[in-house]
Structure 1
């Protein structure tokens, strides 16, 4: 969940194994897993007899409907691909645990289909979910060895909703440990339980975080669609760097119960997919989840669309007024700026009026946001640990566990965020209340709301982030800025869609709007996507090729 600036095996065996594949299980230390040598092979050819690579939900549903493919065959095909690309070959390490009941679930759904009892568009479709979401019978650990045996007794409401819609929970995805809220010098995509997730476009590049595993897995077609979670950038950053569509909905639109939290103000799960249509279809299932006592969901029912796919039309941008945040906080990068120029031209060609604007409060909420996260993390985590019957019950116990297991848990980076959060008091303290009000005001009322009203805008666009940076376990992430921060802090929706690439590294365009504007943002992104078709499939390159200088004649 947050991605914050530093301020702060045979196939059948794999299919039936529910164990996590931790670095130690591969004969590596945690430190070694964050700094492996470059892979020599540049090509990883994997058989695709069922045509699942880059297949969208509509294509898969049609094959299932026509009897050309069964859910059991589809599930096994994804398991085979996980075995070939996640456990072997490039070793993406994006899937931290497989559901031992996945094939049985697929068989039951095949039987229902044969009997004419279809549940909807996701019937028999395998889905991967992030390893901070309760899903029986699997572990929910946030990537920490401290929770490596924590098996919640019930599904999170969103998982129950997915299963009710007919989706097969294929497994859990790796993540930045504790959703990237552990250290001021973290390596995104690394967890002590799962090792380091690799970016399938260039294996020495970051997959970003914290939903790194979901991003890499869906980009590599290890499942049809996936679920990530975000506090500040943890859906949009990995989606952008892995060539995906990622949607962070308004806080409260989807139930957060049964999810290991950071921030009650900012946390939300959301869909990650290879197309806007697939993200919208997955959102339809996710919003059906029971609120489960989530206070932020109280107002959501009045604002949910009945069908988020209904407005996906190629001409949706016609007549829209779009504000382009040209001072977005993302640093200059030549290919990124060229892609932005083309994206703005595309929006205008689609009939939108694009106006360059500036967010008057940009960057002013960072300190207050961090204070809010420290307070809310301690409060929310301890509530989750106690309510779910976890082996640890307090943040102090977690810190002590990491210190006692420093050779694995603290081998790559520290736990400064945890230690700072542990010193915070209850949410009744004035320091928390003041910071929460300040962050929301600067990002929301005086930020997004003000700029939308001033220029009579329907939405804002900005680069989601820069191209994927190289992994660096010594210095941590070389994060190059983000354009989505205001939406994250305000609790408003944001969405990234592929807009181009920098020498093969995907680049994303972020759309942002007022609270509950998901349907409009999806429609705009769909119209943009249909004109650009900018997504490229990953090639699992060990590294980007170096352009050598031309030889100079003597």
Structure 2
């Protein structure tokens, strides 16, 4: 597996009727409140037809029926034992006329590398942190609580956010096992935000938060037929999130609609004194909700990144049809090539390996001081001792490689980081946008979901994640249709701090195309 393959892994109270224990009956009806968005659920609560406690109850029952039983998606690694209590308190606040915002009483799932200072573990899927409770909330978890969201559980992920092996299987962790794709149970969800993608596709919560270093939000979102936003680095705080590398890590929304993603991003964004990258971001006054305009594509010049086509004929044909939708909404399309994408193939991985050990050890010291592991070396030793449970399918080559790297003052690290930023930013995305006077770039997010394979590991059908990931620039993926019943996403990528503009374009496309449909949990696809 080369570097590019690696990073594509991503480096109504008491009403529970209608949730079945069989795969054929598990998909929600189009009008089901569990498949509805934030605004629809809030309207039902305003009208007195629904409470947060009832909504949380229904989602928890659906998790039991669909995730733990029935088709067994296995996307939720742990549910919050205090979720119903929190929802009840938020209902009391609503009854008293106190609303914290648009997410008041709305259930959300967090990827299990986001620290929560509660009775749930924060483990990154590793048995080394099983049962370890974080000492405090990650900044984004605290913002969600302040906004009135109900954190109902944690989602499974590719262990250590897929920064473990050169031959890993996405969606598998020692603690959580294998997450399965709701559109075909023998297919992979991609990763590393695998559980967040599958859970939202299967309507196990209204919203989910994933994290990305390279592809870990947008790839599972595409593979699971949902919307994903990887924001500009620094728009959303990284503090309290188990890291890979501070140069590229960020949290972001994973939802069933662009509108929900915008509302969630608004709640997640903001300055954090513990994260230097967020300083000044508040001055940009993100108004994601205001970007939700059906004319968001009108007059936009969009570059079709042709060097990210050609990996899968069926995907290319599907996306070509969707380009006509962009044109019909007033966009001007220009065929382009994103330059110099081959010039950070190796240096990207080098930076991730250099930053992984010091960043992870700093997180352990700050958020899990009582954990049985303190260092990268401890984790490697733990996995080796428990190899039958932690390494039955693949090893820990990336952990070993990261352990061997010297400090961040090394010449190789500084040169690799400078190389990445040069060729992904000013001589990459910014160059092509400037030369062609473009507002954004589009391309297929990636190929359709592959068969989960513990022998050969992951195998992909293309990916558009790396340019924006390496640059730290925003990337939005929207469901664009299906090939052989498997979802495919269309990506919108722009320059730094163009998040709201991309949301506007993605929303206009989504409203004109309406491609997403709920999964039916087949055992496999019929070819």
TM superposition score category, shorter chain reference:
over 0.9
Aligned position for 1:66 = 47
The question of whether the paired residues in 2 share the 8 Å contact of 1:93 and 1:197 is answered with yes
Instruction: Return the match for 2:74 from 93, 104, 108.
Output: 93
Aligned position for 2:204 = 222
Distance 1:480 1:75 in 2: 37
- Is 1:167 matched with 2:149? yes
For residue 379 of structure 1, report the CA deviation from its aligned partner.
1.2
1:437-476 matches, cutoff 5 A: 437-476=418-457
Distance 2:482 2:443 in 1: 15
Q: Do the aligned partners of residues 114 and 459 (structure 1) sit closer, same or farther apart at CA in structure 2, a change above 3 Å counting?
A: same
Instruction: Return the match for 1:397 from 362, 374, 378.
Output: 378
Aligned position for 1:279 = 261
The question of whether the paired residues in 1 share the 8 Å contact of 2:28 and 2:518 is answered with no
Distance 1:158 1:270 in 2: 10
Q: Do the aligned partners of residues 48 and 391 (structure 1) sit closer, same or farther apart at CA in structure 2, a change above 3 Å counting?
A: farther
For residue 48 of structure 1, report the CA deviation from its aligned partner.
7.4
SS at match of 2:33: coil
List gaps (5 residues or longer) in structure 2: 9-13, 15-20
- Is 1:124 matched with 2:105? yes
Aligned position for 1:318 = 298
Distance 2:56 2:243 in 1: 30
For residue 340 of structure 1, report the CA deviation from its aligned partner.
1.0
Q: Deviations over 1:424-453 (max 9, x none)?
A: 011011110000000111111100010000
- Is 1:5 matched with 2:5? yes
Instruction: Return the match for 1:189 from 155, 171, 174.
Output: 171
Instruction: Return the match for 1:109 from 90, 110, 113.
Output: 90
SS at match of 1:347: helix
1:484-503 matches, cutoff 5 A: 484-503=465-484
- Is 1:366 matched with 2:351? no
The question of whether the paired residues in 1 share the 8 Å contact of 2:27 and 2:520 is answered with no
The question of whether the paired residues in 1 share the 8 Å contact of 2:34 and 2:59 is answered with no
SS at match of 1:5: helix
Q: Do the aligned partners of residues 412 and 425 (structure 1) sit closer, same or farther apart at CA in structure 2, a change above 3 Å counting?
A: same
Distance 2:98 2:282 in 1: 27
The question of whether the paired residues in 1 share the 8 Å contact of 2:158 and 2:192 is answered with yes
SS at match of 2:35: coil
Distance 2:208 2:477 in 1: 15
Aligned position for 2:332 = 353
Q: Do the aligned partners of residues 264 and 256 (structure 1) sit closer, same or farther apart at CA in structure 2, a change above 3 Å counting?
A: same
Q: Do the aligned partners of residues 329 and 291 (structure 1) sit closer, same or farther apart at CA in structure 2, a change above 3 Å counting?
A: farther
Distance 1:116 1:269 in 2: 31
Aligned position for 1:33 = none
Instruction: Return the match for 1:201 from 177, 183, 191.
Output: 183
Distance 1:47 1:453 in 2: 45
The question of whether the paired residues in 1 share the 8 Å contact of 2:306 and 2:336 is answered with yes
Instruction: Return the match for 2:404 from 423, 432, 445.
Output: 423
The question of whether the paired residues in 2 share the 8 Å contact of 1:46 and 1:84 is answered with no
- Is 1:154 matched with 2:133? no
- Is 1:308 matched with 2:305? no
TM-score normalized with structure 2 length:
0.94
SS at match of 2:134: coil
Q: Deviations over 1:97-125 (max 9, x none)?
A: 01000000000000001100011111100
Instruction: Return the match for 1:515 from 496, 511, 520.
Output: 496
TM-score normalized with structure 1 length:
0.90
Distance 1:5 1:137 in 2: 36
- Is 1:212 matched with 2:191? no
List gaps (5 residues or longer) in structure 1: 13-39, 547-554
Distance 2:128 2:465 in 1: 32
- Is 1:380 matched with 2:362? no
Aligned position for 1:333 = 313
Q: Deviations over 1:355-394 (max 9, x none)?
A: 0000120222110000000001011001111122132111
Instruction: Return the match for 1:414 from 371, 395, 404.
Output: 395
Runs of 4+ in structure 1 displaced over 6 angstroms?
Answer: 46-50
Aligned length: 511
SS at match of 2:477: strand
Q: Do the aligned partners of residues 371 and 329 (structure 1) sit closer, same or farther apart at CA in structure 2, a change above 3 Å counting?
A: farther
For residue 149 of structure 1, report the CA deviation from its aligned partner.
2.1
SS at match of 2:153: strand
Q: Do the aligned partners of residues 330 and 297 (structure 1) sit closer, same or farther apart at CA in structure 2, a change above 3 Å counting?
A: farther
